[in-house]
């Protein structure tokens, strides 16, 4: 519901510190828990690929492949990793044991089928554990996001959905992780105009994730080759099953 805190796009977003691109549509900032929160997010486009931030689980997205914030053992876990494994069924674990018998290194990507998921593929990528920021965490997190979009392009996929990697129990500060994630995607799309991807989604389950990623997309794309596309991604989804936390 719109409130007196609504801000038109032709003015600077409150608290973002970046100017907004000119667009006829409007996006609302409303107070949630005493702070401004985006309730609708404009889609962004770079070359022919639309980039969206949506509120909801990555498992609910209508895309060709989803990204799983896995761990290096590649044997499932809690949070979104466990949710994906439960939804996919046991055959995905069987495939992981075959294709990654010794697990996988941080920042790499292991691909399996989606099995009982609606998506045909899952990209399992172990993100870095936050150790203060001086141990290569940013490069490793970039490798996760970059590796997944490169894999999607290599396979000729049209759509890919990310969850937030490493910002759960691995402790990566989300306000630092989100710009890294968005930058990795933006830089790939800017340099691969002939990519098969027409849609990339950041599916954020919690309101904090949604807010931070939304602001990161606006901030980074407002001065990039991309531009605001018409239309909104409405807020949806709910915090059920005790929440959905990435590793």
> Of the residues 36, 60, 81, 211, which is catalytic?
81
Q: Collapsing DSSP states into helix, strand and coil, what is residue 174?
A: helix
Q: How many domains does the chain have?
A: 2
* Tens digit of each residue's pLDDT (9 = 90 or more) over 13-49: 333 333 333 222 333 333 334 444 444 565 789 999 9
Above 90 in pLDDT, residue 221?
A: no
Mean pLDDT of 167-178: 97
CB–CB of 63/160 below 8 Å?
Answer: yes
CB crowding 14-47: b at 16 or more within 10 Å, else e = eebeeebbeeeeebbbbeeeeebbbbbbbbbbbb
Question: Are 166 and 94 within one domain?
Answer: yes
Same domain, 30 and 151: no
Report residue 152: phi and psi, to 5°: -60, -45
Asked if pLDDT for residue 200 goes beyond 50, the answer is yes
Range of the domain at 232: 12-55+207-236
Please indicate, yes or no, whether residues 159 and 70 belong to a single structural domain of this protein. yes
Name the pLDDT band for 227 (thresholds 50, 70, 90): low
Whether residue 86 is found in the same domain as residue 46:
no
Residues 39 and 99 in one domain: no
Strands (E), the chain: 29-32, 35-38, 40-46, 49-55, 65-70, 110-113, 121-126, 159-162, 199-204, 227-234
pLDDT computed for residue 169 by the predictor: 95
The token pair at 25 is 């549509």
46 strand-pairing partners:
49
Instruction: Summarize the confidence of residues 51-71 as an average pLDDT.
Output: 96
Of the two residues 32 and 67, the one the predictor is more confident about is 67
**Confidence tier at 245 by pLDDT (50, 70, 90):** low
Of residues 20 and 116, more confidence is placed in 116
Q: The CATH number of the domain where 116 resides is what?
A: 3.40.220.10
Q: Are 190 and 224 in contact (CB under 8 A)?
A: yes
**Same domain flag for 122 and 139:** yes
Quote the longest CA-to-CA distance of the chain. 56
Q: Is the pLDDT of residue 133 over 60?
A: yes
Q: Are residues 47 and 66 in the same domain?
A: no
- Among candidate residues 61, 25, 65, the one with its CA nearest the CA of residue 227: 25
Is 239 annotated as catalytic? no
Query: 244 falls in which pLDDT band (50, 70, 90)?
Result: low
């Amino acid at each position: 519901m719109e409130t007196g805190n609504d801000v038109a796009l032709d003015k600077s977003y409150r608290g973002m510190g970046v100017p907004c691109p000119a667009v006829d549509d409007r996006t609302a900032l409303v107070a949630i828990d005493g702070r401004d929160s985006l309730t609708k997010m404009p889609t962004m486009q770079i070359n022919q690929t639309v980039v969206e931030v949506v509120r909801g689980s990555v498992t609910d997205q209508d895309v060709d492949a989803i990204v799983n914030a896995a761990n290096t053992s590649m044997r499932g876990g809690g949070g979104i990793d466990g949710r994906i494994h439960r939804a996919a069924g046991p055959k995905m674990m069987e495939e992981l044991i075959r294709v990654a018998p010794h697990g996988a290194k941080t920042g790499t990507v292991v691909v399996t089928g989606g099995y009982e998921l609606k998506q045909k593929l899952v990209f399992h990528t172990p993100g870095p554990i936050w150790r203060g920021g001086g141990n290569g965490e940013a490069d490793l997190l970039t490798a996760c996001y970059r590796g997944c979009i490169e894999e999607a392009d290599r396979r000729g996929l049209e759509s890919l959905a990310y969850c937030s990697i490493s910002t759960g129990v691995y402790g990566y500060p989300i306000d630092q992780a989100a710009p890294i994630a968005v930058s990795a995607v933006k830089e790939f799309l800017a340099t691969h105009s002939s990519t098969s991807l027409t849609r990339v989604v950041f599916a954020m389950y919690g309101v904090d994730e949604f807010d931070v990623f939304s602001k990161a997309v606006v901030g980074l794309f407002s001065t990039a080759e991309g531009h605001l596309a018409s239309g909104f991604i409405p807020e949806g989804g709910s915090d059920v099953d005790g929440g959905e936390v990435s590793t």
